[in-house]
Structure 1
């Protein structure tokens, strides 16, 4: 039976009239949108209308009543039922255009989205509301060697910045004060600090529409870059630049933004990448280590958990008490909040962590899966061996994101 969505081709006779538009390129494009609030709504809506074939939406937050004033894809019942933003955005986008696929990822961009997914997309769009989230997204984009488009709004003001490896870097452009704030929020390696909730910022649906539209337009340009000779591009991009919109005075400016410092830790690109069709985050740690030894042709392997350490126990200072948790670090705040005793202690004491940052055959929980120790599906493992360092993709998980 033929469905109505298959009886016509989305955008035919409309976008195909644009001289620079490549229908097949857009249909096959993959875009990762991080953040599903006001900006994320606008960006996903625009990409959906353009007919971008694969859109991945990442957000861990739930919809609130306050989101309804500037989020075109949310409805009142979504807020009353506390639905996840990513789920609702994906559902509504595919209602608009049934010919595309929008995949929601309810989780954290740093610990719940595999690096192989970042590598698989054409462009990344950041619709975030904190320096920490931008810092983390920049790290992931640089490791994957991908351009990412940052958007921010406040009141009637909006800013779009495009960061491309080798040209500019978000971390390189941070002031000392901004960097210190990020480091304070991430905390020391052995101390749990409850992250302060983000205060609401006054914004308007107009600012979100304008900034989201510029981000989407830049994404379409990035999707088409490989279709043209670099010397004969039919458009100009914002790579290495910043677009600033001021609604109070109806003014726009474009500034150069090319900060690229030597020895910045964000510039580490993970590669070359070894693919392994047998490796999945659903494998046990023991099975993964055996497979890695074979793939790397090594006697010893050690998996680095630099994104998401495995916490065995946490210990309170006063009173001195130990709590066994056995969870990824990304789940720690949630576990503390859900345990009455730990939650009460967290207001008046410091928790120290006993954790594993590197996993080898001596790891006492070898029967846990890679997912259970904090490694997401379709990730890239950073593996140390006697022959050096390897980057190995969990290629068996690719089917989850096709």
Structure 2
């Protein structure tokens, strides 16, 4: 699973896309058609679920209703964020089925399609859609933000900075500063970026919860990477109070707890979240740190092996970072992990990608294999104490 910050801004995306629709008028399994039944969703009595059922039923009878389809897709994306359930992204794509494969769909569909494409690492296609959206609507902040997110993941920091600059003219100061801090965190400017973001968040009382969670999670990760564990803990807990089921946040906090050797808290945190591969992986890693859990650990390893094998058979490369970590830590196969980390590095270049690549190289005793990452760090900088430790090990200093 790769949950970018854009996923946690799904509510804002819905608002932005609604505005775009008005302007235009003035990895999961993909169903073959919008009316194909994949699974019956839980029937909860709350108003949101009733509204969702009504929209879904209405779309079944009006599959070409653009406004209805985009509304339903937006709601599914938000549900995917709130429930940590990746199936909802597939449901969102199904809602857009009549336009999904068009070379020039309506702009509001392009924006949603770009968001879904980047979630499955189809970055070139996502950027192509965003380019077309922005040609027609250059003042659409969400499109610039999604573009910046993809550019950062791919390591195009100059492009991401330029996109964040456009966001700054169109969105709130907190959104703009968070966008820029996300770039600064991986280009040797982590501490000043963190300080500016913290100050901006303090001055942004009343910010939408999804934006506050985005900022807090980034701040927590930045503190954790520089070794400020107490501060990271405070920020993670603040973010979890606002979004207790956010998938990316749960994974990031679980990683922090694993680094702190607190596996019991990871197991409790992820008790009902193992539908997501990346969260199941983190529970298995926690079980590995916990005495007396051999049977449960073996079951999780078997399940993960089956899921990764199925993803490989589908040609799905979204999980290569997690699969590399699985091979390295749970199956103790550093050669396989290094091959996966190398393939993953061709797609995305974030701190977690650096760490798993270096760790695989260390355990493979192959410093030369890490050259692409070493060159990258030399060119862009790093403020990650875990990466620094691995670098010392590669150089024989630990």
Whether the TM-score (by the shorter chain) exceeds 0.5 is no
Provide TM-score, normalisation by structure 1.
Answer: 0.30
The structure in which a higher percent of residues are helix is: 2
Structure having the higher Rg: 1
Q: Which has the higher contact order (CA 8 A, sep 6+)?
A: 1
